[in-house]
Amino acid sequence: MGSMDEMTANTAISWFNRLIKPKIKVGSSRAQHPPEGLWIKCEPCGQTLFHKELERNLHVCPHCQHHFRVSGHARIDITLDPEGRKELFANLQPSDPLKFKDLKRYRDRVRDAQKESGNQDAVQVFKGTIQEVPAVVAAFDFNFLGGSMGSVVGAKVAQGALAAVDEGCGYVVFSASGGARMQEGILSLMQMARTSAALTRLDEAGLPFISVLTDPTTGGVTASFAMLGDIILAEPHALICFAGPRVIEQTMRETLPEGFQRSEYLLEHGFVDRICPRAEMRSQLADLLSRLTRTHKTRERKIYRNEELPSPPVAE
């Protein structure tokens, strides 16, 4: 209990604060990115986890192996060797050709997401090495407008493939996306063809494309490059689908089977080649990339300019 003088002083300050509103406000970014040392609850098992410990464990719950979603940059950090990595196409900026507005203007949504994440759009592309095997790696950030694929995401995924051709190395894409970015209308749908076409360059050069499906990979991303991997890996228990389970359930009016559209279900039905826990991802990728590139090293590789549009494949 404070003395009478202190109480008077406190009352005086609260009266003063009401009169003159403080100019410094706590931004939303702070609320969504808690300071280090905070505890996080693992929803599936209910355990409380120390933030630092979770980070050390590659954002995987040590009790139930739940794989938490990670940002694009965190994904790059836990995938590429720390030395010699370089970000590509970092400055591509999304535009708003339709001047789209729903509850909020698209331009404002993008600006907020950029401020929140420190990135220009929902995918980050890096070149570097994975356990000393060269690779170009693209990683989606689901926190950035649901990892949706607009023109910039499409351009970066496509140019990442062409960069891998230039470098003569394999290409790895970690998908985490709600699908096409509806605010860009038809332009977002065109990215499905754009990314798929760019992958044919990689194929012609005899270089591997490894698609890694993480929670959640849905919509137009599933319907294009994510399912075109020479090898398709998935993280455990990731949601992988075109239309989500709720939509299907409402349309079919049927209860869906347990684990429907999760990695394990897709593996069983032949859509996924292997489920790879995060702890094994680096060694798995390094192994696959070195095996699949070694066999093609002697083949002559053509170098394509980035702006050159790939032509559709011709049946022989």
Reported as type and span, the H/E element at residue 128 is strand 123-130
Name, in order, each residue with C-beta under 8 angstroms of 52's C-beta and a sequence gap of 6 or more. 36, 37
Nearest distance, CB of residue 119 and Zn ion, angstroms: 28
Let me know how long the chain is.
316
Q: Judged by CB under 5 A, does residue 63 bind Zn ion?
A: yes
Among positions 32-61, residues that touch Zn ion (CB under 5 A) are 42, 45, 61
Residue in 7, 9, 12, 64 binding Zn ion, rule: CB under 5 A: 64
25 versus 41: smaller Cβ distance to Zn ion? 41
61 versus 213: smaller Cβ distance to Zn ion? 61
59 versus 201: smaller Cβ distance to Zn ion? 59
Q: How far apart, in whole angstroms, are the C-alpha atoms of residue 119 and residue 73?
A: 9
Nearest distance, CB of residue 64 and Zn ion, angstroms: 3
Q: Judged by CB under 5 A, does residue 9 bind Zn ion?
A: no
Nearest distance, CB of residue 39 and Zn ion, angstroms: 13
- In terms of Cα–Cα distance, which of 59, 2, 3 is closest to 236? 59
Q: How far apart, in whole angstroms, are the C-alpha atoms of residue 60 and residue 173?
A: 20
Among positions 253-272, residues that touch Zn ion (CB under 5 A) are none
8 Å CB contact between 191 and 150? yes
Interface with Zn ion: number of residues (CB under 5 A) = 6
236 versus 244: smaller Cβ distance to Zn ion? 236
38 versus 45: smaller Cβ distance to Zn ion? 45
8 Å CB contact between 131 and 82? no
CB atoms within 10 A of CB 134: 17
198 versus 275: smaller Cβ distance to Zn ion? 275
Nearest distance, CB of residue 61 and Zn ion, angstroms: 3
Reported as type and span, the H/E element at residue 54 is helix 51-56
Nearest distance, CB of residue 94 and Zn ion, angstroms: 35
Nearest distance, CB of residue 52 and Zn ion, angstroms: 16
Name, in order, each residue with C-beta under 8 angstroms of 196's C-beta and a sequence gap of 6 or more. 224, 225, 228
Site residues, Zn ion (CB under 5 A): 42, 45, 61, 63-64, 66
